[in-house]
Amino acid sequence: MKKILHLKRIWLLLLLPVCFLLLVFAKRYPDFAQWIAQGPYLVYAKILSTLTRWIPFSLMEILILLLCVFVPVFLIVSVVQLIRKKRGFWKFFLNLFCVISIVFAMFTFGCGTNYYRYTFAQRSGLTLQKSTDEELAALCRALALKINEVRPQLSEDEFGVMSTERFDYSEIASRAGAEVSALGADYPEFESDLGAPKPVLLSRMMSYTNTSGVFSAFTMEANVNTDMPDYLLPSTMCHELSHLHGYMREDEANFIAYLACRQSESPEFRYSGLMLAFLYSNNALFASDRELGNECYALLCEGARRDFAANSAYWKQFEGKVAEVSQKINDAYLKANDQTDGTKSYGRMVDLLLALYRRDGAV
């Protein structure tokens, strides 16, 4: 035991209580969490993203694949050594908890405290309030009309579904990074260039988990499923980049993605953002008033309906136990990080859209 205490790496265990206290303080004092988000976090994100952004593939994906091999091998070898040597028990657990400490520290600095920062509604000055079904219907109608205006400007595949084939992935990714950074004119935390979203090589497998994108706090990468329908790509990229810039709440990341796409000169980006906003808004309206929801959906042009139908058909093929388990894990993760206020009247994403529409009188 004395030898164990003399090992230098034992001090890594101090990361556990330090990071735990950091999270407690961030949760209790939003001012403190906001200070971290706008200062230390952005410095940390910029340093780490600078190291990983030049790797053209997803480092997170490679690490996950390596861990799938390394962890079982490490456990088997460790157990065999413990049985053969009948010693080293404490050293094994010390190494294990040192690794856990490092992972927990990277999570805390990479995203943990950001869950407790000021909400984007507070940062933007938008006022969230309960709204009527008629107000929501008015928003849906405005979004539908704007979608119909942009849709004819887009390319289609042989099935009449929106396509981005005329662009390379790198072009779309670079534009996504630029669109999110452009939000820095109003919100300084977006000014930093933290790189472009990366394609996941095993995107088809990613779809089995019902996942369109993932932010990795351990490698500071925004990762995107490139197998899904094309109209989802721009808004998904901007969504994951909003996480990279420190906004971890899913509903707020969707709204930020909409804002980034809304201001774009690219019709593909504007369309993607509008479709994201319409989907959430019309689903909320449909749940509250089915007749009004159907009425607003009927306003969409045939092209937009084909895109929604293609999206539904795509994800339907992956329904099953894997998707269910993945969603349950994600749900548990979000709840563990205090994302339990998803329904304030119509939900924060829709409430933010309504607040913006109320303020600007336009989508």
Domain boundary residue, one of 116, 149, 168? 116
CB 304 within 8 A of CB 149: no
Q: Model confidence over 220-253: pLDDT tens digits?
A: 999 999 999 999 999 999 999 999 999 999 999 9
Q: State how far the Cα of 87 lies from the Cα of 90, in Å rounded to an integer.
A: 8
Q: How many residues does the chain have?
A: 363
pLDDT exceeds 50 at position 56: yes
Burial of 304 (0-12, 13-18, 19+ CB in 10 A): buried
Q: Residue 345: which residues within 8 A CB-CB, separation 6 or more?
A: 129, 130, 131, 351
Do 66 and 158 belong together in one domain? no
Q: Where are the alpha helices (DSSP H) in the chain?
A: 2-6, 15-28, 30-38, 40-52, 59-85, 89-110, 120-124, 133-150, 169-182, 203-207, 233-244, 250-262, 267-288, 290-297, 302-316, 321-336, 348-360
Please, which residues have CB within 8 angstroms of residue 327's CB and are 6 or more apart in sequence?
A: 210
Query: To the nearest whole percent, how much of the chain has pLDDT over 70?
Result: 88
* CB count in 10 Å sphere of residue 33: 23
Find all residues with CB under 8 Å of 196, minimum gap 6, and list them.
53, 170, 173, 174, 176, 177, 222, 237
Burial group, residue 13, by CB count within 10 angstroms (0-12, 13-18, 19+): middle
Residue 342 pLDDT? 36
Percent of the chain at pLDDT exceeding 90: 63
CA distances from 89 to 8, 14, 16, 85, 240 (A): 18, 20, 21, 10, 41
**At 345, is the pLDDT very low, low, confident or very high (cuts 50, 70, 90)?**
very low
Domain finish residue from 75, 94, 116: 116
pLDDT of residue 238: 97
- pLDDT given at position 216: 94
- Considering the domain architecture, whether residues 176 and 110 belong to the same structural domain is answered as no
Instruction: Give yes or no for residue 139 having a pLDDT over 60.
Output: yes
Does 38 lie in the same domain as 142?
no
Confidence grade of residue 85 (pLDDT, cut at 50, 70, 90): low
Range of the domain at 37: 2-116
Instruction: Kindly state the tokens that stand for 156.
Output: 């289609």
Q: Are residues 139 and 107 part of one domain?
A: no
Asked whether 52 and 221 are in contact (CB, 8 A), the reply is: yes
Other CB atoms within a 10 A radius of the CB of residue 84 amount to 9
Report whether pLDDT(299) > 90.
yes
Q: What global pTM score does this model have?
A: 0.88
Number of separate domains in the chain:
2
Note whether 83 and 112 are same-domain residues.
yes
Beta bridge partners of 155: 163
Structure confidence at residue 165 (pLDDT) = 86
The DSSP output letter for 212 is S
Q: How far out from the chain centre does Cα 164 lie?
A: 22
**Cβ-count burial of 168 within 10 angstroms (0-12 exposed, 13-18 middle, 19+ buried)?**
exposed
Query: Tokens representing 306?
Result: 């084909």
Q: Do 328 and 204 have their domain in common? A: yes
User: Are residues 144 and 14 part of one domain?
Assistant: no
For 170-201, what is each residue's pLDDT tens digit?
999 999 999 999 999 988 889 888 989 999 99
Q: Taking residues 119-135, report their average pLDDT.
A: 89
Q: CA 304, CA 277: separation in Å to the nearest integer?
A: 13
Residue of 231, 216, 297 whose CA lies nearest to 45: 216
Q: Is 224 helix (H, G, I), strand (E, B) or coil?
A: strand
Are 132 and 167 members of one domain? yes
Instruction: Assess whether 105 and 139 both reside in one domain.
Output: no
The C-alpha atoms of residue 101 and residue 11 are separated, in whole angstroms, by 10
Nearest alpha-carbon partner for 253 in 136, 117, 360, 144 = 117
Structure tokens at 108: 């805390």
Per the CB < 8 A criterion, the answer to whether 224 and 320 are in contact is no
Can you give the pLDDT at residue 72? Answer: 84
Residues 89 and 130 in one domain: no
Q: Which residue among 116, 142, 165 closes a domain?
A: 116
The pLDDT confidence band at residue 8, using thresholds 50, 70 and 90, is: low
pLDDT of 22: 95
Residues 107 and 157 in one domain: no
How many whole angstroms separate alpha carbon 193 and alpha carbon 101? 29
Q: How does the average pLDDT of the chain come out, rounded?
A: 87
83 lies in the same domain as 150: no
Highest average pLDDT, of 53-62, 181-190, 296-305, comes from 296-305
